[in-house]
Structure 1
Amino acid sequence: MPANKYSFLCSASCRISFPIIILVAFFISINGCQSQADDSYDKLSDQEKRSAEHALDGLETHNGLETTLFAADDMLVNPTNMDIDAQGRVWVTEGYNYRPSLNPDNPTKADGDRILVLEDTDGDSKADTSTVFYQGNDINAALGIMVLDNRVIVSRSPDVFVFTDTDGDDKADKKEVLFSGIEGEQHDHAVHAFVFGPDGKLYFNMGNEGKVLKDANGNVITDVFGNEVKTGGNPYRQGMVFRSNLDGSKVEVLAHNFRNNYEVAVDSYGTLWQSDNDDDGNKGVRINYVMEYGNYGYTDEVTGAGWRSRRTGMADDIPTRHWYQNDPGSIPNLLQTGAGSPTGIAVYEGTLLPEVFQNEMIHADAGPNIIRSYPVEKDGAGYSAQIENILKGAKDQWFRPSDVTVAPDGSIFVADWYDPGVGGHQMGDQQRGRIFRIAPEGVEYEVPSFDLSSPADAVEALQSPNMNRRARAWLKLHGWGSDAEEALAELWNSDNPRYRARALWLLSKIEDKGNDYIEEALSDTNPAIRITALRAARQLDMNIIPLIEQLVDDPSAQVWREAAITLHRNESSQAAELWARLAAQHDGKDRWYVEALGVGAASQWERFFGAWKEQVGDEWNTAAGRDIVWRARTEAALPLLAEIVKDSSTEEKERYFRAFHFHEESPQKEQELIGILDAGLPNQQALNTMALKQLGPSSLEHNKVQVALEEALQKVQGTQQYLDLVEKFELNTQQEELFELMTTYPDSGLGTRASYLLLRLDGKLLVEKHLNDSSNEDRKTILKALGNTSGSESIAILQGFILDEQKELNMRRHAVKALGSGWGGEQKLVELVKSGVISEPLHEATSEALSDSWSGDVRQVAKSLSGGGQNKQADLPPIAELASQKGVAEEGQTAFEQACQICHQVNGKGTAFGPALSEIGSKLPKEGLYDAILNPNSGISFGYEGYILEFNDGAKAAGIIQSETASEVVLITPGGNTTTYKKSEIASRTQMNQSLMPDGLEAGMSEQELIDLVEYLSSLN
């Protein structure tokens, strides 16, 4: 038994009394856990730390639990996902051949990756046999596996396969395609694992790179509501969660607009839970209760714009802003867990582990090297949660848990990818991989007996904590139909509500009997059972109107939520009146309930909102009524929304202005917004600015709009709001003001945006006039601003200035340096050098301009102009040797500020171009940090890839696509400046195969400076 444990101090079972010493320990612990790690781990060599012999020594386990090593490197490598079958055997997908195009130095197996079956045959709680179920390049680095009787569902984009063992020899005899056409081949953000639901359905998800779901024949799937299952906003965006029949038919999109929802977990009631990864470095990893048919706000629901896009009501904190949590229509997050790389998740419905973990999520997060639980409490129509740690790589940062699953005895197993890094499609180690088992101390792995020969035996198996046993039992019981009723009815009348829910799902599907059990369940004293009954009734296509009539006055807000969701797309004549009654019960404090009502009214807002307004009459203007108006998507809500804004007592006016964004453009919307412009309210000018942002150029035919716009421009001049209005109304009348901003703030995002807008709004002649007529100092400023703008017109102006030999040589040198300051200009400058038009007097300036490029090829052009030789890689020792060195963090911070802060932020300081690094030390060990610095092209974080945009006039720009809508692309360039380009201006885009982080960064440092930099980065956690 390993000595390193967490002290568990705040479980549900320890809340009555504490000894004094435990109270003291409680206040110095984190999440109720206190480290007791053995210092002997620090004395091990690096090779010893990485060995399976010491695999447990760098881990800390929750007090009262014990982690043991079930399988290690001699049996498997790089486990990506796993499942445990009814016999207690562990099925594992490997990822040895992981992204070879991005890891070209790594060897590959010509025969492809494997699916392994690991078994403990001698009862010592360790695997002693390993069987290859299947091997092939078609499953390289598969991200999901689910075992179901003799079928195995394997997720590996672009396909989902069903392998069948027809003769029971643990070898795949048949391979079929269940789904195909998923984009993002071998991509972490594509399709993930399948799970078997308590209703006999398949549940699965895919991240935002999957983009489309096709059937086995390559046809885009149409879901049960007639929508094509693909992203793009019609109606779905980004990552999605699905439910389908076992054969892949009747696909439902249960929720959408996630970034990388890595796995979905389903409990016995049919409630869904999952995690979602933020854009790296933004401390925004979240845990979600998945409200069916909900939008989860990774991008703007209407436009698809990224979370950094400027908007009314934008939250101050990044996690709230990241998930559009202030928008009507974005489902609340259950929990924010900070930085991370979340992976596998399961609901633990066993009794072997301590009570605090029972019936709760168990989650793997490979980023902070941790297995956690999130005990959930009901909170109105939604939930709240906290964090309880189970297993942590406290000293071994190579611990990268990729999955967690529940065994038949109630213990949990953890798959450990084991690698110095995580994310960016990079792999640093191909030799190792581990499977751990977590159970109470001293409890060996003994698989309970298993029998499906009779309904009574199958009902016993249905109570297992292991999903595979429950699935096999479910299929047997469902196949028996009414012959299983007696055994299921006994379970239905038991005291365990989760067992009762499992029985109800099956009883509801017995022909001619299901309705009776649902009716009985609707009157149950447990609201979770009543909710399960509603969910089961929806799947049976029952007339749900009488059921909702029965529950509309239920004492539980959780049941109201489910009743509202159940009305989703229900077109019966009574649906609107029932929705109105449910809406009337909102207390104005429960955001979860507001969103459930929104789900219920989707596509029928006019009818449902009208019924509510008729019911409440003139008494609508309450806190609850304002929420309904804020969430509504019908023209009938617009006058009320405007009335709320014009009410002098209304606080959070930005919140209500933001709601206008979700209404389609119409004369009614324009009329209401114009009506706000002269409402005579306190702070009227600020209200006018917000109203104008919701209007467009066509509204300028109204005199009120012209007057208000002129006043607003004067009031907000010199700010981003001013530029918002200029861009929104396409005002070429503001050229002088834009020029003033451009030259006052040439190095800031404000000045760059002003310069870009000026040139886009026919200001080229004005800029050229000032370049001809201004003093040399002013010319330098103009040239610098144009260089930072790096658009096609600014590049053309600079090129013309450089090649004009009538201009003063010193000013032309400044123009050269300005041209080389942005990627598009840099490329033009290289082109001019190669074409021989850069005269010798400009060579030195050109060399200086190109010498700071992130591209080694461009830096070589600079060297050729200055007479330098070939670039040389710094003569550094191996990474392992560097990682063993101790640096000075304070000195490393100075190096960071000089070399890295132009593109990265730490605790809010620096530039938000690349991923924020505020907690990078908790994610990457020193080996991973050195690799990221020395080999920047080998692991590019998803979402931070560079793109080259080529425009219709032949000009180019490069950077990271920060946001994209149907009509615009927002590009952010090194230094943090953003430029919005109309898609109509872009001829093509090409993803770069290089990181935008400079290669050879270390060449400008001494070895000690590099060691100090890594010491500083490793201290950030």
Structure 2
Amino acid sequence: MHLKHLRGSIWFLLPLLIFACKKESEVGIKDLAANEDVANFMENYKGRGVLTDSLATPTAPEDVLKDFTIPEDLSLELVLSEPEIVQPIQVSFDHKGRMWVVQYQQYPYPKGLKITAIDNHTRVKFDKKLDPPPAGAKGADRITFFEDTDGDGKYDKSTDAISGLNITTGVALGRKKIWVLSPPFLLAYADENEDGLPEGDPEVHLEGFGLEDTHAVANSLRWGPDGWLYGAQGSTTTANINSKVSKNVAFLGQAIWRYHPETYVFELFSEGGGNNAFNVEFDRKGRIFSGTNGYDRGPYYKQGAYYIKSWGKHGPLTNPYAFGYLPNMPLEGEKKRFTHSLIKYEGAALPAHYNDLMFAINPLHNFIQLTAFTEKGSSFGNVDKEIVLSTRDKWFRPVDIKLGPDGGIYIADWYDSRLSHVDPRDTWHKTSGRIYRLGPKTGDKPIQSFDISSYSNEELVQLLSHENKWFRQEALRQFGDRKDPSSLPLLINLLETGNEQEALEALWAINLTAGMSDEIGKMGLNHQDPFVRMWTVRLLGDKQTVSPAMFQELQKLAAKETHPEVRSQLMASAKRLPSSQTFSLIENLLNNHEDSEDPDIPLLTWWALEEKATSDREGVLAMMADDKIWQHPIMEKVLLGRLMQRYIMEGGEENFAMATQLLEEAPSPKHVKILIEGLQEGLLGREMVTLPDNLLKILEKNNKELGDSPLTLALRRREEKALAEALKIINDPNAEIGLRLSYIQVLGEINQDEVVPDLLNLVKNGQSSPVIKQTALHALQSYNQKEIGEQLSKAYPGFRDNVYVREAAISLFASRKEWAMDFFNEIELPKTISPDDVEYHLARRFRLLQDEEINTRADRIWPSSKLLTSEEKTQRINAYGKLIGKGKQNIKKGRTLFLSNCGSCHQLNGEGGVSGPELTGYDRSNPDYLLLHIVDPNADIREGYEVQRIVTTDGRILEGRLKSQSGGTITIEPPLGGKSTVLSQERIAAMEVQQTTYMPERILEPLSDEEVSDLFAYLMQVK
């Protein structure tokens, strides 16, 4: 019920409440920590990102609307606020129009568990597993529904449907149940009378969602138009899901997943994408979109596809042979991070120019972005239009956005000065939360009360034509609940005679009513609307087997279909079908040469083929028996090389036999070359490989087409003649430069000690080109020989003039302790090397050796590379803070200072480098935020910019950003760019993410007070 009369009277208590919460938090750490190490970490950890701001004060609910700015043709209403709701994480509506709110009050830690380990990203491990309700500890989470009992458009009654929950992020009603997403579980509470109140204890349908990071747990539970329950999972949790029939479905990080409540099947729908996925949006065509905590608007998720991830932090894809991924939708606009949740507006209540536009919430910058979709083949791009809602209130933290039955847009506001999860202390403002309604300016009247569950089948069919998508989606849910065959004639008639959208809604409803027969399938595949065809393909593919008659129809469609989204779904569904049908569909679909330029279809085709590559090798060969299929652009550009790489990387007799036969079947030298390039990709990073004789014979037979490949393969097999020939070529200054570089690189991978003198001579030889020296230095890192450090440190002055050679040499010295000591000796004793040769990002590499003697000498040689203490950082932050905004600031000079001091790595307003995070999208209006991350750049290392410390089995210490991880190898690239290194997993003894970045902490120290003021004036200006 409303408690409006209390709102004005409790605000004077706010300082006391905050103080009380702080005291409770301090006690809570002792209760949460299972050991002293965890307790010390939690108490002393400084936190990262947008933390609790004790100076920022909240605005009372009755005054909050004054701070908002919206277009003249829209209105904003505060629908609910504290104390009626606190910490809302999800909002949705049921068949009666009641608003359901999940209140995430137990966040951030589950009740009843203790933390046994915690990392720098505050990912935790607990002492035991949670028990499902009613067992186990009672948490503070609750699910509440709100009603308008008198029809005035105000929610005047509230009911706690379920309380005592423990980390709960989602709720959905359907199938006479209340479905609750409460990681690690998906629970179902019986609700036969559909009054919204459980009728007993829940049944566990899914178990295994991870709890390592409670701002990235499974979330966004909702029904899809196909009758599956869909959800997302964020980036820094794990999952190993079990249901009654699906067992041990394991994945890492962000994904869209789904569960069928009648067949009990759990699936990964799409993997990766969106960084910390915390949103699932279905548009009127059934497409799935989600937001991102990056700079764009997120992905358009395709079935069975793989999307970009931050590999170092979020882990690899489940398929080591994906060999690629799809990007998020490209964005034209100001890339201000982040918009993690969105809707595509299809509610028919707002002015028409808002139709089909994305409303994306940005909790970091306290606004809602309006963004358009632009067609790009089978996918979309995004173009920002305007900020449709903004506020001066920094406590506005929108976390969920939904379309309501009245056509309004409902926004769940976490309402807190703190936004960052990366602080182990529970300093969240536990007593606030708000929900707003964004609607038309016209002041539309409240809709009359309704109960869709009481509608007749005829009335439900009529709802499928409703102009508001919400009613159509709710009608579909009712068809799925009822499964009443008597509704099928009405639905089939609508499929045949309705407009395009009505026909699609009818198809969904027929499927939900268990009426998806071959007759309906044929009707759908031949329908005039491409999205009816697309969804018929998907629904048939979901069965994972189709009748011969239906498959003939699919073949016909694949041969003639021109719509890119239909063709995209055909490839996605082909992956799910029996292999003979998969190959036939691929053959038909490859005939459309335009698909080779599509942003998604080429990789979707590869993933369909890869799914069958080893389970039906004979089928692959049968498909490749037709010379014509080799000529298709997607085959040449995408499939052929990856197929060879796939077989070589997995290895084994059968896979090598496939590689051999593909080479024998290749219809032209061009195709042989493509296959060999794939073979070489498959061998990258491997110290030695034993290829069968028949494969080697055919490689020799195709020597002309292979270029340097036969000798390269012989080198990997450590053949003496090949080694002698390779050494002759690399030492010949007149030999082709590409061959020399290729052989030097291989010599660095095969661990043949006798090549070291030749490689050293290449570096020391004044006649060698810089690129030869650089490549030889990289190769020498693999050899643990004392003379390498001794000779190169003395020879260093002779080749230091080239910056790339110099950096390669310093990287070599920093990879082993003995070599580092040799280098230090030349700096400190005869002083033949200047300390100034070594820039900060190179000096810090020596610390990766984690050796006390090395660190002591590095501190002495490069005192500015020594990390600041917490006290020193605090002193500098306070001192620099006094300079910001003082005096007459010169933004033009600030820009010059930015480009010279920061611009080599960071980009701002379209200027600068790309090796560090792009700064335009950050909240630069907050000087405290800027100071923290400039003085202490290690406080918050963005996803994708983490640096891995790698210890190899031969004793090297390497560093780099993890570029990819697949098929038993990893690819790392230098933090500031440069040549990538491929390593076999077999050669890695240990790999860990570093807690320090390559940005210097003392970057402001060379600047005068005036320059610091100018730099911050430029950084903080908002265009």
- TM-score, structure 2 length as denominator? 0.70
Aligned counterpart for 1:832 among listed residues 850, 853, 859: 853
1:849 aligns with 2:862: yes
* Corresponding residue number in structure 1 for 2:649: none
Aligned counterpart for 2:506 among listed residues 498, 503, 507: 503
Aligned counterpart for 1:557 among listed residues 549, 557, 562: 562
Structure 2 counterparts to residues 445-524 of structure 1, below 5 A: 446-448=446-448, 449-453=450-454, 454-460=456-462, 465=468, 470-471=473-474, 474-475=477-478, 478-489=481-492, 491-492=494-495, 495-508=498-511, 510=513, 514-524=517-527
* Corresponding residue number in structure 1 for 2:340: 343
* Corresponding residue number in structure 1 for 2:307: 296
Q: Confirm or deny: 8 A CA contact 2:171 2:181 kept in the other structure.
A: yes
Q: Per-residue CA shift, 1:227-271, capped at 9, x if unaligned?
A: x5334xxxxx76433222126821222332436244333345544
* Cα pair distance change 1:114/1:740, threshold 3 Å: farther
1:789 aligns with 2:816: no
Aligned counterpart for 1:567 among listed residues 538, 563, 574: 574
Q: Per-residue CA shift, 1:551-572, capped at 9, x if unaligned?
A: 5444542344444443334337
1:543 aligns with 2:546: yes
Q: Distance in 2 between matches of 1:290 and 1:764?
A: 53
1:941 aligns with 2:942: yes
Aligned counterpart for 2:643 among listed residues 627, 633, 649: 633
Q: Distance in 1 between matches of 2:807 and 2:569?
A: 56
Aligned counterpart for 1:82 among listed residues 79, 91, 94: 91
* Corresponding residue number in structure 1 for 2:73: 64
* Cα pair distance change 1:765/1:336, threshold 3 Å: same
- The amino acid across from 2:94 in the alignment is D
* Corresponding residue number in structure 1 for 2:280: 264
Q: Distance in 2 between matches of 1:788 and 1:129?
A: 70
CA positional deviation for 1:406: 0.9
* Corresponding residue number in structure 1 for 2:435: 435
* Cα pair distance change 1:143/1:619, threshold 3 Å: closer
- The amino acid across from 1:293 in the alignment is G
* Cα pair distance change 1:846/1:247, threshold 3 Å: same
- The amino acid across from 2:236 in the alignment is E
1:244 aligns with 2:238: no
- Classify the secondary structure of the residue corresponding to 2:486: helix
* Corresponding residue number in structure 1 for 2:361: 364
- The amino acid across from 2:611 in the alignment is S
Q: Distance in 1 between matches of 2:416 and 2:361?
A: 15
- The amino acid across from 2:453 in the alignment is L
| Greater Cα shift, 440-449 or 705-714 | 705-714
* Corresponding residue number in structure 1 for 2:716: 697
* Cα pair distance change 1:1019/1:375, threshold 3 Å: closer
Structure 2 counterparts to residues 70-219 of structure 1, below 5 A: 70-72=79-81, 75-76=84-85, 78-94=87-103, 112-113=140-141, 115-118=143-146, 133=161, 138-139=166-167, 144-148=170-174, 151-155=177-181, 157-162=183-188, 168=195, 174=201, 177-183=204-210, 185-215=212-242
Q: Distance in 1 between matches of 2:421 and 2:888?
A: 27
Q: Confirm or deny: 8 A CA contact 1:508 1:518 kept in the other structure.
A: no
* Cα pair distance change 1:821/1:246, threshold 3 Å: same
1:402 aligns with 2:402: no
Q: Distance in 1 between matches of 2:526 and 2:801?
A: 80
CA RMSD of aligned residues (A): 5.8
Q: Confirm or deny: 8 A CA contact 1:198 1:505 kept in the other structure.
A: yes
Q: Distance in 1 between matches of 2:77 and 2:447?
A: 16
- Classify the secondary structure of the residue corresponding to 2:242: coil
Q: Confirm or deny: 8 A CA contact 2:415 2:433 kept in the other structure.
A: yes
* Corresponding residue number in structure 1 for 2:535: 532
| Greater Cα shift, 780-789 or 432-441 | 780-789
Q: Distance in 2 between matches of 1:783 and 1:632?
A: 34
* Corresponding residue number in structure 2 for 1:650: none
CA positional deviation for 1:799: 3.5
Q: Distance in 1 between matches of 2:371 and 2:1019?
A: 29
CA positional deviation for 1:201: 0.9
* Corresponding residue number in structure 2 for 1:710: 729
Q: Which runs of 5+ in 1 are unaligned?
A: 1-45, 223-227, 232-236, 307-323, 648-652, 680-686, 861-869
Q: Distance in 2 between matches of 1:418 and 1:795?
A: 51
* Cα pair distance change 1:740/1:894, threshold 3 Å: farther
1:411 aligns with 2:408: yes
Q: Distance in 2 between matches of 1:144 and 1:61?
A: 29
* Cα pair distance change 1:288/1:809, threshold 3 Å: closer
1:929 aligns with 2:938: no
Q: Distance in 2 between matches of 1:886 and 1:920?
A: 26
* Cα pair distance change 1:543/1:289, threshold 3 Å: same
* Corresponding residue number in structure 2 for 1:234: none
Count of residue correspondences? 900
Q: Per-residue CA shift, 1:568-593, capped at 9, x if unaligned?
A: 34337566445433433444655344
- The amino acid across from 1:633 in the alignment is L
Aligned counterpart for 2:1017 among listed residues 1008, 1015, 1018: 1015
Q: Distance in 2 between matches of 1:299 and 1:999?
A: 24
Q: Distance in 2 between matches of 1:522 and 1:294?
A: 23
Q: Distance in 1 between matches of 2:165 and 2:813?
A: 44
Q: Confirm or deny: 8 A CA contact 1:787 1:821 kept in the other structure.
A: no
Q: Distance in 2 between matches of 1:248 and 1:447?
A: 37
Aligned counterpart for 1:767 among listed residues 779, 789, 796: 789
* Cα pair distance change 1:514/1:355, threshold 3 Å: farther
Q: Distance in 1 between matches of 2:428 and 2:832?
A: 53
- Classify the secondary structure of the residue corresponding to 1:873: helix
Q: Confirm or deny: 8 A CA contact 2:92 2:100 kept in the other structure.
A: yes
Q: Confirm or deny: 8 A CA contact 1:238 1:258 kept in the other structure.
A: no
Q: Distance in 2 between matches of 1:781 and 1:375?
A: 45
* Corresponding residue number in structure 1 for 2:704: 678
Q: Distance in 2 between matches of 1:956 and 1:257?
A: 30
Q: Confirm or deny: 8 A CA contact 1:758 1:764 kept in the other structure.
A: no
- The amino acid across from 1:557 in the alignment is T
Q: Per-residue CA shift, 1:948-994, capped at 9, x if unaligned?
A: 65677998777765655544574756899987776556555555667
1:798 aligns with 2:826: no
* Corresponding residue number in structure 2 for 1:37: none
Q: Confirm or deny: 8 A CA contact 1:586 1:624 kept in the other structure.
A: yes
- The amino acid across from 1:856 in the alignment is T
Q: Distance in 1 between matches of 2:868 and 2:59?
A: 35
- Classify the secondary structure of the residue corresponding to 2:75: strand
Q: Distance in 2 between matches of 1:974 and 1:377?
A: 34
* Cα pair distance change 1:791/1:992, threshold 3 Å: same
Percent of paired sites with the same residue? 19
Q: Distance in 1 between matches of 2:679 and 2:419?
A: 39
Q: Distance in 1 between matches of 2:382 and 2:877?
A: 51
Structure 2 counterparts to residues 544-943 of structure 1, below 5 A: 544-554=547-557, 556-558=561-563, 559-571=566-578, 576-577=583-584, 579-587=586-594, 590-591=597-598, 592-604=600-612, 617=627, 621=631, 623=633, 626=636, 630=640, 633=643, 635=659, 643=668, 645=670, 657=677, 661=681, 678-679=704-705, 688=707, 697-698=716-717, 710=729, 715-716=736-737, 724-728=745-749, 733=755, 737=759, 755=777, 757-771=779-793, 788-789=810-811, 794-799=816-821, 808=829, 810=831, 822-823=843-844, 825-826=846-847, 831-832=852-853, 846-847=859-860, 849-856=862-869, 873-874=875-876, 876=878, 888-893=890-895, 896=898, 900=902, 904-906=906-908, 914-917=916-919, 919-921=920-922, 925-926=926-927, 928-933=929-934, 939-943=940-944
* Cα pair distance change 1:951/1:1003, threshold 3 Å: same
- TM-score, structure 1 length as denominator? 0.71
Q: Confirm or deny: 8 A CA contact 2:280 2:290 kept in the other structure.
A: yes
- The amino acid across from 1:697 in the alignment is R
